[in-house]
Amino acid sequence: MKIGVIGAGQLGRMLALAGYPLALQFRFLDSSASSPGGQVAPIVTGAFDDPGSLERLAADVDLVTYEFENVPVAALQKVARTHAVWPPVEALRVSQDRLLEKQLFEKLRIPTPAFRAIDSLGDLEAGVKALGLPCVLKTRRLGYDGKGQRDLRKPADVEPAGRALGGVPLILEGFVDFEREVSIVGVRSTTGEVRCYPIVANTHREGILRVTLAPHRHPALQKAAETHLKRVMKHFGYAGVLTIEFFVRRGKLVANEMAPRVHNSGHWTIEGAATSQFENHLRAILGLPLGDTRPVGHCAMINFIGGMPPRDEVLALPGVHWHDYGKEPRPGRKVGHCTIVAGSAVERDRLVRKVLRKVDR
């Protein structure tokens, strides 16, 4: 069985590494032959919306998946006419547009911030009046890791933000004064089997995920997160890994966004869960029985952003596992991560602080 993966970034690379013990083969499509996936499988080099490139990928694989959200939907719909594509193309389409995403959450009775579609400066002024300040103005499409958004905290922020992000469809969201950010990673098979990982606590810096702590033990939030996730999966007839990111406000979940793919906040599962999110994604899209999602200890994931810390010093710490994506260092770029597995939350948190001191110096 050969899996075609659209995108050859670190997520695709980790998918392939998880699939080789299952006797799977992989082929990637990416615009760059030097992407991380090229370290482990052949890359068809070409644009994601180029019909010829997609045809060359599809001609040599049995099934197609993707590792990031910005795959052109129209191009993927053509592939879906001849090949199974998981997760569903419709889930991808909705996740690419923050307005459609928020409307879906409303439809499925999943709490989400108040929002307004913004297509003009007049819309923005009316939206700010309706939602009040502070609020957040975002591009509806192509924003990630904090890009494509502006915080509006005072009236003087409104017009400059509208002009800076204008020219594309926007969404205005009410500000959520949250106590914590959490996410849930779950997986649904083509057979309908569903498993969920424990919710995790996430810390961001400059809009980029910095640290994930797992599990975040909170039975009520876990139950609510699983309920919301399963509603989305059922709505789409989903197969594969799905992630929803939430704010926690006054002890309740408020959905921020979803990702129809393996997710950065699930990297801890590589060493920290009985079955990683990457292996379970492959099991799900192939209709294989899903693996156990229980954590094997108290876990953490720390992103290495911009550059890698001293490898020998990090690996000298007990229970720490190193993942280098083979990328060139660049400010704001995720170039690797480490996972931590410890016997207690206290020990895990101590190790997190030690690693962060090496990363930040």
Q: pLDDT class for 334, splitting at 50, 70, 90?
A: very high
Q: What is the pLDDT at residue 75?
A: 87
Rounded average pLDDT over 157-169: 85
Kindly state the tokens that stand for 10: 């670190």
The residue with tokens 């810096």 is 205
Instruction: Return the percentage of the chain with pLDDT > 90, whole number.
Output: 88
User: In the predicted model, what is the mean pLDDT of residues 172-194?
Assistant: 97
The pLDDT score that the predictor gives to residue 63 is 96
What pLDDT, on a 0 to 100 scale, did the predictor assign at position 146? Answer: 57
pLDDT of residue 298: 98
Lowest-confidence pick of 106-115, 164-173, 225-234: 164-173
Highest mean pLDDT among 41-45, 148-152, 156-160: 41-45
Question: Of 151-155, 220-224, 294-298, where does mean pLDDT reach its minimum?
Answer: 151-155
Domains located in the chain, CATH noted: 2-85 (3.40.50.20), 114-174 (3.30.1490.20), 180-360 (3.30.470.20)
For 167-184, what is the mean pLDDT?
94
pLDDT at 142: 75
172-177 mean pLDDT:
95
Among residues 355, 51, 354, 95, the alpha carbon closest in space to that of 245 is found at 95
Return mean pLDDT, the chain.
95
| 132 CB-contact burial (10 Å; exposed 0-12 / middle 13-18 / buried 19+) | exposed
Average pLDDT rounded to a whole number, residues 170-187? 96
The answer, yes or no, to whether residue 145 has pLDDT greater than 80, is no
pLDDT at 67: 95
Residue with tokens 């709505």: 235
